[in-house]
Every structure is written in C-alpha cells, then in structure tokens.
A and B are shown apart, each in its own frame.
Chain A
Amino acid sequence: MCGIVGLFLKNDALSPRLGDMLTDMLITMTDRGPDSAGIAIYGEGAEGVKVTVQSEAPATDFPGLDTALAAELGVPVTMKVVDTHAVLVVPEAQEAAAVAALEARGLRLMGVGQRMEIYKETGLPKDVAARFGIRAMGGTHGIGHTRMATESAVTTLGAHPFSTAEDQCLVHNGSLSNHNQMRRVLAKEGFHTRTENDTEVGATYISYRIAKGASLGEALEGSLKDLDGFFTFVTGTRDGFGVVRDPIACKPAVLAETEDYVAFASEYRALADLPGIEAAKVWEPEPATVYFWER
C-alpha cells in the first residue's frame, strides 16, 4: 500500500530539474507510505553498465571497492558513492560477473542499467531523498515510490522500485493475491526473486515476458491476465514509461500530460506544483488499459 510518482520528460530543457520535481512529488506522498522510499532515475548513459548496490556499512564496504572489483574482474571499474549506495560502472560483458562479485561481498543489488540508477532506503521520503541528494539529479525520466509495507518486511530490499532486468524498474500500489504461485512458476523458468515482496514478482514477471520476446506493452497486457489482485503498476525502461491498472481499479491513479512531460501520481496533490499543471490534460487511467510513452 503506497504512493507512486513518475515523471517522463518530453522537453529536454526540464532534464536538470527532474530530480527536484520528483523529490517534491515523492515527499507529498509521505502519508501513503511512511515506511520507506525509493527512486529510479534515468540519467546519463555510461561507458558500460551501471550497477547500483547498497550496503549496511558503507564506510567499511565502499572504500577501495572499485579497485578491488577491477582487480577481481581484470577490467577498469569506476565508482560513485552516494550515502549507502554505490554506483559501479563496469564493461557490459562483465555485468554478470560484477553482480556476482558484489553480491558475494554481501552487498545488496538495487539494479543494473546503462542509464538507470536506483536509490532506496527505509525511512521517511524526505529523509531518503535528502541523503541521496535526489534533488540534484538530472535525467529524462524517473519513478518514485513511498511504501506502507503490507505483508513483507520494512527493509531496503523490500522498498520499491524493483529492478529485475537491465534498465527496467517497476513500482506498485495495491496487493497481489497470486504472487506466491507466480513466484514458483517464474523460478521454474529461471527467473528468481530476492525478497518475499509481491511487487518484486510483478517486476520479475514483466522482465520474464520481455526476455521471452514481448514488448513492454505486451508484458503489461500479460500482467492483466496472469497477475491477480489489486495493482497499479508504473514501469520504466531505458527509453519508456508505462502505466497499467488492474480491471477492478480501486487503487487511485492520476495522469497528467503537457507538451513538456507526462506525470503520474497516486493523488493529484503530488502533481499540484508541476509547471503548467493548470493547463495540463489530467485524467485517470482506465482499468485494464496499458498506457505507454517512449522517447
């Protein structure tokens, strides 16, 4: 049970302000999710892939991590440390080896992408946004989430967004009712989840469908048939932004579109400060209907 925000820019002039706008939207959704918050932001592309990891003990885990990983993989590695998170850039061919090496050190994988970075922690949205300096981040699009945990623990790994494939992320408001069964089905196909969280199953399902050749739109259509329960999903890909609600569509959702951006929020309040919102087209996504924007 949660608050969702999302912003997909059509006008590059707004790019430097992406993090700033998303932060305000996220903080407005605090009441819907005071347990944890997270954000996925699609920024500059890197020379390789960015691997975002989180540590409980960043002061001991991160210093020298880049050189150690570089030595282990035999390739150059760069690192940016942001509070409890580190974004390591490795050559694409070394992605799997890098993830394995980082997880072997007890670091928690937040996500992998050419453009996507994920920051999430327990705590109030304003504190989470501040410790990562999200306001200063630029980019083309981003998705944020405030969480009121339902049936899984309040932990960093239980926070959204969930990323289960390169440059893909998903946030969710609602509660899935067949996620345990789906988790077993996906595991049989080789798509394993890391948490007990229902949303991660939704994210993994989308990644699974895309890996099997579906487009994001087709994967979201599939979720309407294969996932049961209540959900509003907002997803990000390298160049795209998608929204889908379950057929019953009880959980709130508002979309706004101008010539400059597409914005999503669980409540209008989160959109109230966006530039030009007074003149925007504002509507509620229809049930069982996939909305998708691509750059």
Chain B
Amino acid sequence: MDKTPRTEPRQSWTFSRETNAEIRRAAETGIYDIRGGGSKRRLPHFDDLLFLGASMSRYPLEGYREKCDTSVVLGTRFAKKPIELKIPITIAGMSFGALSGPAKEALGRGASLAGTSTTTGDGGMTEEERGHSEKLVYQYLPSRYGMNPDDLRRADAIEVVVGQGAKPGGGGMLLGQKITERVAGMRDLPIGIDQRSACRHPDWTGPDDLEIKILELREITNWEKPIYIKVGGARPYYDTALAVKAGADVVVLDGMQGGTAATQDVFIENVGQPTLACIRPAVQALQDLGMHRKVQLVVSGGIRNGADVAKALALGADAVSIGTAALIALGDNDPKWEGEYQKLGTTTGAYDDWHEGRDPAGITTQDPELMKRLDPIEGGRRLRNYLNVMTLECQTLARACGKSHVHNLEPEDLCALTMEAAAMTQVPLAGTNWWPGKGGF
C-alpha cells in the first residue's frame, strides 16, 4: 500500500456543492430557479447596530409606568382620512393566490387585534381579508388583477406598487399549480397557466405620469384615502424624493431582504440594496425636501423583532412592515412539519417553494386539504401575540433611551458594530464618533 501522504479532497469555494448542484439543475431543466422569500445571503443588517441607552448624560423612562407611546398616523399630507395605528408595525402586501384565504383572514384578525393594518397583494381584495381587517391597504399593481373602483373605495389606503425589495425592476411569475379556479377568476386568467406579471404599470411610466395617476385615484376616492408609493430598495434617495414629488402621502421602502411569492433566485440575490443601507438615504431625501415626518416612511425587508423595529425608527422610519415574519408567526416553516418538508426535498427553515402551492403549513397554498391546516382564529391570535411582543420590545429599548414616544428615537441613540454598517447608516462605529466617509476621528 502506498504510504505517500495524500492531498485532502478539497471542495472549491467558487464551485461549491451548492453551485454545482444549481448548474446541474439548470442544465437539466433549461429554466432559472424560481422561489419565494427574500435574500438568503448574509447581508449587513440591524444586528450590526446597537442602542447606547441612557445612564448619566440621559435619563431612562421607568418601564411599565412611564408611558412610551407607539401610535403612528400615516397619510397626513393630503388625505382627508389618514390611517391611525396603535403600533408602528404593519402587515406588508401579500397576494391572495400566493396565500390561501384562511391565511389572509388570519393576517387580518391578528393585525386588527394588535391595532394595525394589513395589505392586499397582486390578486385583488378578498372578503376574508376585508372582512377581518379593521384597516386594509389596497395595492395598486402593474397587473391590476381584480382592480375595481368599489374595492378602491372600500380600502382604507391605496398603495401604488412601483417595485419590491426582492426584485426592484422585475415583474413576476406565478406557476400554473396555484392558478386555481378561484384565483384564475379573480385575475381574469385561464386556469392552470403560468401567470406572467408586467414590471411596469400599463398606463403610466415615471413620476411625472404617476402624479397624474395619483390625481385620478384621489378623484375617484374623494381625496379621502392616503396614497402610499412602494418602491424596492435600489436608489432610495432618488426614489423617495420622486415619490414625494409625485404626490405620495406615504413612502414604503422595501429592502433586499423583503420577500416575494415567486421570483427568479438570481433576481432575489443580486438586485437591490440591503434594508439597512436604504433607510439613511431615504430619510435624507425627506429631510432635504422638508418632508421628514410629513410624508411618512415605512420600511420593510427582514424585520424580525422589536430591536429591528426600534433601529429602523431610530434611523428615521415612521413605521415598519413585516411579511415573512408574519408568515412564520402563523406557522410557516414550523418544525412540526419537518417530515413533510423532507418529503419535498427540503427542511424546516429552508422551505421556499411557495409558488408550488404544496406548503405543508397550509399558508402559501390553494390546495383545499392543505389550507385546512391553518386555523385562521388561532393564526390571528399568534400574529397578535407576536406583534405585541415586538411592540413591547421596541418600547423597552425606547424607554432605555429616555423616549416617551418611539418616534423620538434618533440615529444618535445608536452605534455601529461594523465598518460596513457604520458606512451604510452614517452611525458612528462603536467607541468612536466616526463613520467611513466622515472627516476627523
């Protein structure tokens, strides 16, 4: 037997097992990978910021006794009926079609119990959702599936979707498995086809046209409804400024970790900016226009807990929005379904083929049997609990910084753990008064 020492078999970093598997999959099928969810790569995030807390130079508020307000009003610029929320956390747009009817109902129940709003998605407004959502934001999307003036007037706010964080500049594709009879009927599509969604609105292009579109929407709804404009995090300074110039009441800014029901993996992982990097430029744009806190900024994309909420507010957001986290609260990717995830060739926490409609948790599906697995009342209770926990966490941090309202958190209450986070947020690196690009040390 040869005793010569052998080289350890070495996997390539560049051509990793994961990469090679994807090459083989592409070679076999001829189509790019489509999946749900947001970016899975490691990105600079709110974890890279810490609060300073009060001690000698500032005084904290007493928990549970001294009030720390969490209310937020969205749409104070032009709308006759702004939206008043008890908490600065809203439920992001997710379509009926992508989600089941009971899942939409659960979101409505949970959000209403917690005193916040839900949002429709690319598929129209359902009774499940309108009926159980005290405050409902109606998305106005390029596809206009199910769009009609009655639902427009039944909505509490209108969100014109220009883009989303998972795919700024992209349209969508919902594969045939989920275009059931009801979904097809609502979308005026043939049953079972792959739905191709446009990336631009059919009847306007650019902020100068959008201003006229907003005029039309306001004229149809008697200038009552707040008009939100949702953009994907790409060029947040300019996009925010142009949304304001086009006449928005609220700007919704969705960073790269924001989810999607179905998009090319290459798009999700390679387009857009991390949520953390988007906030500061957007706030700067609002401040430059004298519109900070007058046009509200809602930030979404990877918000998970009260700390994320508090940090987003400290950077200048007025509220945050959650999508993926809300689905997890309902039971998405729950370990109790591990056996079924294994059968689908995946595992708890990694399941992202939401577009295939075989969700063991019964949330991202139109399969009548799977749908039964989600009890909308129990789901609503879980979502309310989760929203309440996030709010309590956010208040805890705000009180520690001496704030009687969470909106009084400011960038100066933060320090950054990494050079990247410091550069992106212009929050000083911990232990310094400096961030990359700033003179002096």
Contact = CB atoms under 8 A, between A and B. Distances in A.
A151 B211 contact: no
Interface string B236-256: 001001100100000000000
B208 A1 contact: yes
B205 interface: yes
Nearest to A267: B212
Contact residues of A: prevailing secondary structure: loop
Q: Chain A, interface size: which category?
A: 20 to 34
Given A230-B206, A251-B206, A150 B238 contact: yes
B436 interface: no
B235 A1 contact: no
A230 B242 contact: no
A266 B208 CA distance: 10
Nearest to A2: B208
B124 to A, nearest CB: 26
Nearest to A32: B208
A207 B208 CA distance: 28
Nearest to B288: A154
A33 B209 CA distance: 11
A3 interface: yes
Contacts of B411: none
Nearest to B209: A252
Q: Chain B, interface size: which category?
A: 10 to 19
A230 B205 contact: yes
Contacts of A174: 206
A157 interface: no
Contact of A31 (B212, B235, B242): B212
A163 interface: no
Contact of B205 (A3, A33, A151, A250): A250
Contacts of A33: 208
A150 B211 contact: no
A173 interface: yes
Interface in A250-295: 250-252, 266
A148 interface: yes
A142 B400 CA distance: 62
Contact residues of B: prevailing secondary structure: helix
A3 B208 contact: yes
A253 to B, nearest CB: 12
A251 B205 contact: yes
Given A1-B242, A34-B245, A148 B207 contact: yes
Contacts of A250: 200, 205-206
Interface in B160-219: 200, 205-209, 211-212
Residue among A3, A150, A175, A266 facing the most chain B CB atoms (10 A cut-off): A150
A190 to B, nearest CB: 30
Nearest to A175: B206
Contacts of B212: 31
Contacts of A252: 209
B209 A148 contact: no
B308 to A, nearest CB: 29
Given A31-B211, A31-B212, A34-B245, A1 B238 contact: no
Interface string A29-69: 00111110000000000000000000000000000000000
Given A1-B242, A34-B245, A148 B205 contact: no
A273 to B, nearest CB: 19
B238 A32 contact: no
Contacts of A148: 207-208, 242, 245
B295 to A, nearest CB: 15
Contacts of B242: 1, 148, 150
Interface string B409-423: 000000000000000
B41 to A, nearest CB: 26
A110 to B, nearest CB: 24
Contacts of A3: 208
Given A34-B245, A148-B245, A151-B235, A173 B208 contact: yes
A201 to B, nearest CB: 17
Contacts of A266: 208
Interface string B263-285: 00000000000000000000000
Nearest to B204: A250
A251 B204 CA distance: 8
Contacts of A151: 235, 238
Interface string A7-32: 00000000000000000000000011
Contact of B211 (A32, A35, A175): A32
Contacts of B207: 1, 148, 150
Contacts of B238: 150-151
A20 B242 CA distance: 30
A3 B211 CA distance: 12
Contacts of A34: 245
Residue among B207, B208, B211, B238 facing the most chain A CB atoms (10 A cut-off): B208
Contacts of B205: 230, 250-251
A283 to B, nearest CB: 20
A251 B241 CA distance: 20
A48 to B, nearest CB: 39
A28 to B, nearest CB: 13
A2 B245 CA distance: 12
Contacts of A230: 205-206
Given A151-B235, A174-B206, 11 more contacts: A1-B207, A3-B208, A32-B208, A33-B208, A34-B245, A148-B242, A150-B238, A173-B208, A250-B200, A251-B205, A252-B209
Interface of A: 1-3, 31-35, 148-151, 173-175, 230, 250-252, 266
Interface of B: 200, 205-209, 211-212, 235, 238, 241-242, 245
7 nearest A-B residue pairs (beta carbon): A250-B205, A32-B208, A1-B208, A1-B206, A1-B207, A151-B238, A148-B245
7 contacts: A1-B242, A33-B208, A149-B241, A175-B206, A250-B200, A251-B205, A266-B208
